[in-house]
Structure 1
């Protein structure tokens, strides 16, 4: 007699013939409708499906009993196929899709694929993380905000769920106003996890939900609680930034290095924030954790889902691009009445680089606004070289001697430290730098993140320089440069032709002996004021880094019949909250605010 697929799998387990390879995480979908679309008829359970304009009542007995039924079926399937302890179920997905994620061997995954009732078994894949003037630029103060009750009421009682890297709850953008306190939101049923360090929960009325999801990350051995935080605490900065942009309090002063850059506001300043942390600093995240976060957010009753995260690429092991657990979850969320917005991605300017390709959600491209922070370097020969600022000026009507880092080395052995990057003050001669402008070179180290403009500023300050110039000598087409706020005069020259003008002037003005050693420094210059923004009328334009459509290529490298992105929104040079815990943006380590 021929054994059924399920019976054959059980027989293999009993005979000990299933050889295990290295365990991996798989997302499994099974037959049977999830809560959001179940219309009744299975094992006597009544319907739990909702219409698209209705919200799911997750507290009803019908929903909770059917949810328990689905989870028991997941456990039963795994228990019938495999020995206890040979696998680990990470999540049961019940509300938006019917399935689960599990950590098991590839051989066990093959067994699952052949089991009756199993629709798909997908190996988990990675995801990555993809405003003082912006409200005025968008016309909110005279348009949207008054219609929503004014800037002090816009977004009232709206709950935005952020699936991101968590939140830094101590930032003033997320404070609960004592003069205008936030009341309860009965429709929201999420919970607030406890900060293991402070022993307090993350919620205060503005933040009304905070949970973290890391079972897949832990199973994969990628989670480090020391830096990733086993809590909703933001260890990266990205989650705090996006939450403040969307729902940060209105009128929050942006102060950095003793300078104020205006007052920031979220686009819906009275909206509530619900945090679903599933992205981490060093490795990004896993789809299994993100799906669990989305499933929980819809269960909890969010109105909007903000996803500034997306898969590294379209899944390669599904029959079509869109029939994978991640995009099916997004479809079910939309069916549940939740508006889902996802960043288009940062793979531009090349075409077909979208990572947000679900037809049923809003894919948002990044635009520049009309604000620029520019500066200039005045040379002793009368030339003014344009660059990027966000720094104060040197003393007005005064010029200073300019010294190149390579010409002020304490020892020739320091060349092994890439001294022109100006990252190590200990290799440069303070006596020659003090009171002068330090000239540094922008190398590939800045591109890969091993060098930072912040460190250049710290080096110049430690050596007593009055300011610094960071000049780009070679740059790949399409490289994006952002101004970085610093506390001393400084300028980043990104135009290679302007850098050549600076080098030519410096060389002509700097006499050397026959060995190449500088005899005296005679090049002079001054740095302008880069703190004031300049408004350009060229905006809005698609940001260079923003992912492009008009479609994507699916798993078989065929063009998908899809037009994306759907909408364009400011996504460059935005003042908003940051987390001082984040380290993957070297220019902003330890800062509470970010450009």
Structure 2
């Protein structure tokens, strides 16, 4: 074997040692170098056999061929750094070997510049931060997920499918992940991930259900942001978010959701028998770093996961990459898909504004969030006969009995406590227990609740400590479009979110309360009672697109130019989802110390799709990630439960929220339908070569940039990016007439499909042929021709519907904007 393990062959000839002057403050950089990663190495280096596989296949990572090539890459990375820099002036954090060939390193900007110019170095990107995609503040309200088909009604739902979660870790002792009362889990030979030990208990995190658990924090540590006492130097979830997403996708079936002595129902994952592999790279106080997240993804694919669930997105665009599809995050995920891994990613929470997506690429399934049909409502009955509507996930006060209302500001122990803003009832020690006991405590909803320094949980604890019968939180001023989450509490409690109703309450209280000349209360005479808020009310208007869910159109670069690709891909429940929580979790102050939480975000929607993808993968183990995505998309629905077109929440200056008819930029192909996805009839398949063609034909992307990230030369036979075989059609700049081709494969019995089209009047649409018959396993092409009829300056929406003689319905959205030239 050649002793000079070269980074690029000219290193052998010239060994230049730079003595580096380290000036700037060290930062983290992600570096890619020449030479193929394991996934695409086809041989050519002396002594190392090829490790590459055909598209959508899993690599046998246990083989000696793979492990020796991995060691070779490791050594190359170390040699490059050792040749350029003196020992002790840099720190390598990770070697990336499987999906990309490169490493993360902690160096000064001056050293990064030297690396950039070194032979064999392809790219040097400064690391940047990522965040969890949950919605926190009471500004957003979704509605709890109702009944969801848990595994399509079969006991083996998702059996032996491994879902990898790149998230904030897991709380392994939660009943959603317990194996005590389940059929035993056998070994899964193809998975080679490891289980870290808990540094405190010395026990590992795995139990058969949880099959792997690792944490990635090198970049966070190097950046000085990691605090082991709260972030845990282990896969332990110090946040709550990771346990919540894992339980949504793969939590045990029928776990009772108990809080404050009430059972809110039973929680179940989408694929209750799927295995959970934990790759912790997110932390509660600062989110995470791309270098850690890429290391986690690289490891997850190397370990053999089938599905990746990502409820994480970049905080901001990367510094150097101009193309959205080639930022290091998406480029790594392209290699994951090449390895046969299905990727579900949260679309982002920047809605309802356009172009707010943080998930861009065709090889990723980007998931938007819906609100479902359960609403939790409550009411406050006042002594003057008025009934005020509000929100309160709480029990009622005793029936037929009214209680005296006492305002926090009127029961202060002394006036010096005003500096604590006592009206928000966060500090029981400043209020007079003798005056509160046996009464209903009236509190004010202040800005502290919005920023998270005050919580409804704390109000309920204050009321309990003081012996109050219950509490009322009145919202006195609010910005338009603000939404409030119902929070489960153990005593009667209600939030009056409508400002007018809060004024009715305050007026009644002031009229009924007599005061002396100093303003001190002589007697409390206002009375009231709180209704039962524990039972949900079911609405037929569901599902609806949540206000916060990120909207299209998709962008091809960070100058926000429109892409010829529809995003998001699909809509799934994401608002007020009940699932497991970590008692250590402080991610949401209302659930500190609890075992379950009711939270919202596209973070909650992505694992629904990851779990449903596991059900499809279990039924069709040889399907590619694109085939699974196609099955989910073409069988989705664009109608709500009442049979009307889906609606989307929009912010409004006048009302809290208004509803508008939703478009594919809100929901992609529509709301997921798990049962139909198991039997889609036809699929639109695509692989690595097709994605490469998409990149190569997208105007504005430099072929050198594509080669830098994919190590593949460009192939332009696709002609246009809109010819990528996706289950949607998008032409962002349609001039005159364009014909788009698609190829479908029959995954059912022989069937004849009639093809129908419809489109908004500004664009004419026609499909050819009008019908086709496919034998089992056969593929056929069809074309869709779009012609500009009138320029409206807006996108037009339509669809292609393929109706099968055996009852299959295959629907794809069509989106286009017409231009003169």
**Once the 2 structures are TM-superposed, how far is the Cα of residue 476 of structure 1 from its aligned partner?**
2.0
Q: Are 1:210 and 1:275, in contact at CA under 8 Å, matched by a contact in 2?
A: yes
Aligned residues: 581
**Once the 2 structures are TM-superposed, how far is the Cα of residue 43 of structure 1 from its aligned partner?**
3.1
Mapping 1:99-498, distance limit 5 Å: 99-130=102-133, 134=145, 136=147, 138=148, 140=149, 145-146=152-153, 150=154, 152-178=155-181, 180-498=183-501
Give the ranges of 4+ consecutive aligned residues of structure 1 lying more than 3 Å apart after TM superposition: 4-7, 9-12, 132-135, 556-562
Mapping 1:29-68, distance limit 5 Å: 29-68=32-71
Deviation string for 1:418-447 (max 9, x for gaps)? 011000111111111111111111111001
Q: SS state of the match for residue 53, structure 1?
A: coil
Aligned match of 1:517: 520
**Once the 2 structures are TM-superposed, how far is the Cα of residue 66 of structure 1 from its aligned partner?**
1.5
Q: Are 2:31 and 2:104, in contact at CA under 8 Å, matched by a contact in 1?
A: yes
Aligned match of 1:502: 505
Deviation string for 1:427-481 (max 9, x for gaps)? 1111111111111111110011110001100111111110000111112223231
Using the alignment, how far apart are the partners of 1:535 and 1:574 within structure 2? Answer: 15
Query: Residues 372 and 32 (structure 1 numbering): CA distance in 2 closer, same or farther, change over 3 Å?
Result: same
Q: SS state of the match for residue 577, structure 2?
A: coil
Deviation string for 1:60-98 (max 9, x for gaps)? 222112211211111111111111111000111011011
Using the alignment, how far apart are the partners of 1:495 and 1:552 within structure 2? Answer: 38
Aligned match of 2:85: 82
Q: SS state of the match for residue 230, structure 2?
A: helix
Using the alignment, how far apart are the partners of 2:431 and 2:556 within structure 1? Answer: 51
Using the alignment, how far apart are the partners of 2:45 and 2:17 within structure 1? Answer: 30
Using the alignment, how far apart are the partners of 1:316 and 1:559 within structure 2? Answer: 20
**Once the 2 structures are TM-superposed, how far is the Cα of residue 238 of structure 1 from its aligned partner?**
0.3
Deviation string for 1:471-493 (max 9, x for gaps)? 11112223231111111000011
Q: Are 2:144 and 2:576, in contact at CA under 8 Å, matched by a contact in 1?
A: no
Deviates more, 1:34-43 or 1:372-381: 34-43
Q: Are 1:6 and 1:114, in contact at CA under 8 Å, matched by a contact in 2?
A: no
**Once the 2 structures are TM-superposed, how far is the Cα of residue 348 of structure 1 from its aligned partner?**
2.0
Q: Are 1:97 and 1:325, in contact at CA under 8 Å, matched by a contact in 2?
A: no
Q: Are 1:135 and 1:267, in contact at CA under 8 Å, matched by a contact in 2?
A: no
Using the alignment, how far apart are the partners of 2:174 and 2:245 within structure 1? Answer: 13
Q: SS state of the match for residue 326, structure 2?
A: coil
Q: Are 1:10 and 1:81, in contact at CA under 8 Å, matched by a contact in 2?
A: no
Using the alignment, how far apart are the partners of 1:508 and 1:351 within structure 2? Answer: 48
Deviation string for 1:368-402 (max 9, x for gaps)? 11111111001111111111111000000001111
Aligned match of 2:746: none
Query: Residues 509 and 171 (structure 1 numbering): CA distance in 2 closer, same or farther, change over 3 Å?
Result: same
Aligned match of 1:13: 18
Q: SS state of the match for residue 477, structure 1?
A: coil
Q: Are 1:33 and 1:97, in contact at CA under 8 Å, matched by a contact in 2?
A: yes
Using the alignment, how far apart are the partners of 1:515 and 1:202 within structure 2? Answer: 62
Mapping 1:504-583, distance limit 5 Å: 504-552=507-555, 554-583=557-586
Q: SS state of the match for residue 298, structure 2?
A: helix
**Once the 2 structures are TM-superposed, how far is the Cα of residue 245 of structure 1 from its aligned partner?**
0.5
**Larger relative strand fraction:** 2
Q: Are 2:436 and 2:468, in contact at CA under 8 Å, matched by a contact in 1?
A: yes
- The structure with higher relative contact order (CA 8 Å, sep 6+) is 1
Using the alignment, how far apart are the partners of 2:382 and 2:188 within structure 1? Answer: 60
* RMSD, matched Cα: 2.0
Using the alignment, how far apart are the partners of 2:479 and 2:41 within structure 1? Answer: 53
**Once the 2 structures are TM-superposed, how far is the Cα of residue 134 of structure 1 from its aligned partner?**
4.1
TM-score normalized by the length of structure 2: 0.69
Using the alignment, how far apart are the partners of 2:211 and 2:16 within structure 1? Answer: 50
Deviation string for 1:130-184 (max 9, x for gaps)? 1x98472x4x25xx523xxx1x310101100000000000000000144511111
Q: SS state of the match for residue 401, structure 1?
A: strand
TM-score normalized by the length of structure 1: 0.94
Q: Are 1:24 and 1:106, in contact at CA under 8 Å, matched by a contact in 2?
A: yes
Deviation string for 1:16-67 (max 9, x for gaps)? 5x23210000000111221111222233533221122321111122211221
Aligned match of 2:716: none
Deviation string for 1:311-338 (max 9, x for gaps)? 1122132132222221110110011000
Q: Are 2:383 and 2:527, in contact at CA under 8 Å, matched by a contact in 1?
A: yes
Q: SS state of the match for residue 113, structure 1?
A: helix
Using the alignment, how far apart are the partners of 2:267 and 2:114 within structure 1? Answer: 54
Deviation string for 1:80-124 (max 9, x for gaps)? 111111100011101101110000000000111111111110000
Deviates more, 1:60-69 or 1:531-540: 60-69
Deviation string for 1:490-509 (max 9, x for gaps)? 00111112111111211222
- Alignment equivalent of 2:99, drawn from 96, 99, 105: 96
Q: SS state of the match for residue 322, structure 1?
A: helix
Using the alignment, how far apart are the partners of 2:22 and 2:230 within structure 1? Answer: 36
Using the alignment, how far apart are the partners of 2:194 and 2:48 within structure 1? Answer: 28
